[in-house]
Amino acid sequence: MARSKTQLLVTSPETITISVVTPSYKQADYLRLCAASVADQKGAGLKVEHIVQDSLSGPDVAEAVRRFPEIQFISEKDEGMYDAINRGWARASGDILSWLNCDEQYLPGALALVADYFRQHPETDILFGDAVVIDAKGDYICSRQVLKPQLYHTWTCHLNTFTSSMFLRRELLRERGFRLDPYWKDVGDAALIRDLILAKANMAVCNNYLSTFVDSGDNRNLQPWARKESLEFFQQAPGWMRQTRSLWRLLHRARRWMNGHYRPKPFAYEIYTPGSPQRRLHIEVPRPTFFWETRM
């Protein structure tokens, strides 16, 4: 059984700080697991800052983060998830910025690997990694290996990357003015990536499983309002781009095939679960699949 790629050895001593922002609203049970997955990230030359930007959830969420004294917990009214993330990023002091939703987790060694990648590739502005899709109990659903986003596919089809495995240099926000647009409630990440592609930001993919994404069956992007928003985003694309949508989808699938995404290799992952909230559970995946049944 191949070990998770996130367990690669990181040796460079140069310190890089990664600031993780978690937007929060009444998800205390998930947040406990998310916070634990950030708290145990360690590696040579790595410093982690975790900011939980909570939208006045109440005492349950405050209690959930109490056993993690390193967390910066901010509870204040916001205008939605993207506004909360922007607020957290504005407070962040790290060289690299990310966001991790309450129902997501980093895999062991993920942030050390990310820090090492940015250290070795100073030209990279934004880095994407792969994700493991799980259910609410932590059981495996499928593997999602990602490709570097392309403008036409991102704008007219969907964003194939996961925000839980996305990392940006702080300069993109502090010096170049990029941010998540609070106008959007679900496709703000796709809009940000579209704008970064248009600005010729240097993007890279590290081809390692870095995080987990929970498919609970009632995720935001499955809601009717989210689908309407996706249509609005699609309609902003130039007409010729919309009319050739089928071509961009076909080319994306061809890229996935050529990169082996339809034939994922056996691996293992370790996460915190509702049944094991204080110790990572080791889960072997001898027959992984790309097929995401509920999204096909």
Distance CA 76, CA 84 (A): 9
Tell me the whole-structure pTM to 2 decimals. Answer: 0.92
Looking at residue 174, what is its pLDDT? 85
Query: What's the CATH code, domain 14-295?
Result: 3.90.550.10
User: Which tokens sit at 201?
Assistant: 């930001």
Distance CA 182, CA 163 (A): 16
Domain spans of the chain, in order of start:
14-295
Give percent above pLDDT 70 in the chain.
93
Sorted by sequence, the CB contacts under 8 Å of residue 83 that are 6+ apart come out as 180, 182
Residue 94 near residue 19 (C-beta atoms within 8 A): yes
Instruction: Give the count of beta carbons closer than 10 Å to the beta carbon of residue 281.
Output: 13
Mean pLDDT for 111-123 is 96
pLDDT in tens, 49-86: 999 999 999 999 999 999 999 999 999 999 999 999 99
Q: Report the pLDDT value the prediction gives residue 12, as an integer from 0 to 100.
A: 46
Q: Over 70: is that where the pLDDT of 109 sits? A: yes
Which tens digits make up the pLDDT trace of 269-278? 999 999 999 9
Predicted confidence at residue 74, as pLDDT, reads 96
Asked if 142 and 214 touch (Cβ cutoff 8 Å), the reply is: no
Q: Spell out the residues 6+ positions from residue 27 whose beta carbon is closer than 8 angstroms to its own.
A: 57, 61, 102, 103
Can you give the C-alpha Rg of the chain in angstroms? 18
The answer on pLDDT for 245 being more than 70 is yes
How many CA within 13 A on the CB side of residue 287?
0
